[in-house]
Amino acid sequence: MKFVMLGTGNSAMMPVYGCDCSACVQARHDPRLRREKSSAYLHHNGRKLLLDANAPDLMQRFPAGSIDTILLTHYHMDHVSALFDLRWGKAPILPVISPQDEQGCDDLYKHPGMLDFSRRAQGFTPFSWYDVTVTPLPLKHSRPCLGYAFEWQDHCIAYLTDTNGLPLETVTWLQARKVDWIITDCNYAPIECEKTRLSMNHSDIIQTKIMFEQCQPVNMGLIHVSHDLLEWANDNPEQFSSQYQILMDGQEITL
């Protein structure tokens, strides 16, 4: 099983349009440091499960028939933007499994085209994707949002974005297992004021460190990162390790 990061940035991506901060200048000069909006895919036994649909080259990268299922974390535009083009394809119906969200995004439900939005994921109600058990895990965000844990043989990888910290029940679920990887949202450099930190829609680095200590995964990978976080990370390399790292676009995790 291979888990591939299609994007690891937040909605502003890297470099941020028009920004001349040191992290954006670096990314403008070194294509390896560029970041698309966060999304990923699971590649297992020749099949691909896409996690969120926002890759700018989604239709070129995944020709018709090459995606088995799309799994959405939530209906914010920066996670579903590629569906607006994809839906008009002439290809077999593609299932999109997503949280229950009455409105969805713009007119996706009204004009689904080749997409089928009928299957809904519910927190802690596992389902099978072939021989992988997928468990939706509730997150803390401004609209219905689910992370997903993928269990296969004795492996477990949890993809948890967008969120600011985790609900207690999700922490408890993760603590009960040996988790190889938690991949999660770390949008912000440290926010010193606790009240401000807890009021945000995304985690800062303090929240993800708490999550790391609470859940004790073998590895933690940070995604949905901002230029502010990346500038801070450049100044504070000692805060990171191979067990607690900022992931890169194109990075592959093999289990």
User: Where along the sequence are the contacts to a copy of itself (CB under 8 A)?
Assistant: 11-13, 16-20, 56, 59, 63-65, 77-78, 81, 84-86, 88-91, 105-107, 114
Q: Which of 74, 65, 126 is nearest to 101 (CA)?
A: 74
Q: Following CA atoms 230, 143, 166, 58 in sequence, which dihedral angle do they give, to the nearest 10 degrees?
A: -50
Taking the C-alpha atoms of residue 247 and residue 221, their distance in angstroms, rounded to an integer, is 6
Q: What are phi and psi of 137, to 5 degrees?
A: -120, 120
Q: Which of 233, 219, 206, 222 is nearest to 156 (CA)?
A: 219
Taking the C-alpha atoms of residue 144 and residue 124, their distance in angstroms, rounded to an integer, is 14
Q: How far is the CB of 49 from a copy of itself (least distance, A)?
A: 18
Q: How far is the CB of 100 from a copy of itself (least distance, A)?
A: 19
Which amino acid is present at 163?
T
Q: Of the two residues 228 and 248, which places its CB atom closer to a copy of itself in the complex?
A: 228
Q: Of the two residues 75 and 152, which places its CB atom closer to a copy of itself in the complex?
A: 75
Q: Of the two residues 80 and 149, which places its CB atom closer to a copy of itself in the complex?
A: 80
Q: How far is the CB of 130 from a copy of itself (least distance, A)?
A: 23
Q: Of the two residues 60 and 242, which places its CB atom closer to a copy of itself in the complex?
A: 60
Q: How far is the CB of 35 from a copy of itself (least distance, A)?
A: 12
Tokens coding 164: 């600011």
Tokens 């468990």 map to which residue?
135
Q: Of the two residues 20 and 154, which places its CB atom closer to a copy of itself in the complex?
A: 20
Tokens 């933690």 map to which residue?
220
Q: How far is the CB of 174 from a copy of itself (least distance, A)?
A: 31
Instruction: Tell me the chain's radius of gyration from C-alpha atoms.
Output: 17
Q: Of the two residues 49 and 83, which places its CB atom closer to a copy of itself in the complex?
A: 83
Q: Of the two residues 78 and 151, which places its CB atom closer to a copy of itself in the complex?
A: 78
Taking the C-alpha atoms of residue 201 and residue 76, their distance in angstroms, rounded to an integer, is 12
Q: How far is the CB of 77 from a copy of itself (least distance, A)?
A: 5
* Cβ-based neighbour number of residue 20 at 10 Å: 9
Q: What are phi and psi of 120, to 5 degrees?
A: -115, 140
Q: How far is the CB of 83 from a copy of itself (least distance, A)?
A: 10
